[in-house]
Amino acid sequence: MTKKRSRRKQAKRKGPKGRPTADLTFAAAAEVAQRITAAGPKYLEDNLVRIMQTSADLRQEPEFADLDFEPRQTLEAAARHFPRFRSRLMRAARRGAEAAAPVYDDYRIAVISDLDTSQFRRQLQRRLERCMDRLNRSRDVDRLEITLVLSMLLGDEVSQMVKGRDALPLGVYGLVTAIYEDSYDRAMAEIPSARDIVGDELYDLWCAKHHDEDLEAIATAVGQISAFDQLPRHIERNPRLALAWKRQRQSLIDELDLRMADLELTFSPGLFTRDEAALAMDKMEQKHLSKPWSLSRYFALPAMISFTTCIRDTVDEIVTPERMAEMIEAFKSVGREALESDDDRLHALVPHAQAAIRYLESEPMPSRNRIVGAVYLLSCVTLLGDLDAPDPRWQRFFKRLEKSRLLRSMDEIDDEEN
């Protein structure tokens, strides 16, 4: 009996291949304990930042794959805290991702604190414990250390001790920030009224945050098609690609006028005649530049606003639905040529051409359509270059417009007027 009982105990300690799982568990935990002991009393102080940051990797573990914040509550909390951080976020975003990161961290900590509940903490703690058990068995010492420290910090006793001013907010836990970002992305993608909830500025920040990864996905998709006409269907069939396209559609439009100017893009046949291209310039002369008291004669900003108005008035007069259809066909032709081109600069125009087509189809009013304005402005610049003796004032004027990103300014003027 003694020998049989002994064999049964040994069998319980062995895994499916005869390995002693209990010994491995003890060895992994012992290694973590030794690491903490060797570091001394300053272990937590010296390692807290590292552990918090690398804990974001735990999001990929199966125990946390389906742990999310409630979608609508996530968006509402984000919108609620945005006004307090708006000015800092917008200024930092203009300086680039590196400058924006610490400001965004502060904002996200505030939002996550709003979503921090005892129920969420209990879920997180339970999942950490399950994750620790599995990591023990797999002998993943590095991740076991992270889960152990997180579990300790979230434990009831420690929570009671750190509830004062020095308490660690959930927003500094890399794991929790990863959960928040995934929850926010999911809510933005799945809730139809998401943009209304968060507002345009927060929506634009979300799009900008995913700019590089989205453009990489779009470039990969372009590399997978053999004909330009396949791109819309390819986008529709791939949910991730469709989301990337939705987020970067405005960015593609914003860059189009600059890319067209940089490539000196021309349409054959031309979309506007020389006389039509001269109309807005004639309006500008008659209404503003010929008047000694007009500010547009002396200052760039009022000149830009005045010329924008002249362009809008002109395209509303001359651009018919048939002309819009011709413009769509012209961009399809550009897209086909760009896809087949060996010139990297022209080939990169493929998604911009598709964005232009969709924009032309969705905004039929010429004066409100930035693509119509961009093509018309390009015709004006081409006209000026074709003249034997171009007016120096207009040469200087168009140089200013190139630096000021006219078409983007047209949208900003729209916002101010509305």
DSSP-derived letter for residue 169 is: P
Q: At what angle do helices 300-318 and 392-404 cross, to 10 degrees?
A: 90
pLDDT reading at 168 higher than 90: no
What is the domain count for the chain?
2
Q: In the prediction, which pLDDT does 164 show? A: 45
Statement to judge: residues 165 and 286 lie in one domain? no
Q: Who contacts 110 (Cβ-Cβ below 8 Å, separation ≥6)?
A: 81, 84, 85, 171
pLDDT reading at 315 higher than 80: yes
Q: In the prediction, which pLDDT does 418 show? A: 44
| Of 147 and 160, the one with more pLDDT | 147
- Residue 407: strand, helix, or coil: helix
Statement to judge: residues 154 and 220 lie in one domain? no
Statement to judge: residues 302 and 374 lie in one domain? yes
Statement to judge: residues 190 and 246 lie in one domain? no
Which residue, of 160, 180, 209, is where some domain finishes?
209
Statement to judge: residues 232 and 124 lie in one domain? no
Nearest to 358 by CA among 237, 242, 221: 242
Statement to judge: residues 363 and 242 lie in one domain? yes
Statement to judge: residues 169 and 244 lie in one domain? no
Statement to judge: residues 219 and 168 lie in one domain? no
The whole domain housing 227 covers 211-417
Per mean pLDDT, which range of 116-130, 131-145, 237-251, 332-346 is the poorest? 131-145
Statement to judge: residues 332 and 379 lie in one domain? yes
CA distance linking residue 75 with residue 278, whole number of Å: 48
Statement to judge: residues 166 and 220 lie in one domain? no
Which residue, of 155, 177, 209, is where some domain finishes?
209
Nearest to 369 by CA among 383, 381, 355: 355
Which residue, of 149, 184, 209, is where some domain finishes?
209
Q: What is the pLDDT of residues 8-20, one digit of tens each?
A: 444 444 444 443 3
| Of 167 and 229, the one with more pLDDT | 229
Q: What is the pLDDT of residues 324-371, one digit of tens each?
A: 999 999 999 999 999 999 998 899 999 999 999 999 998 889 988 988
Statement to judge: residues 10 and 98 lie in one domain? yes
Statement to judge: residues 123 and 215 lie in one domain? no
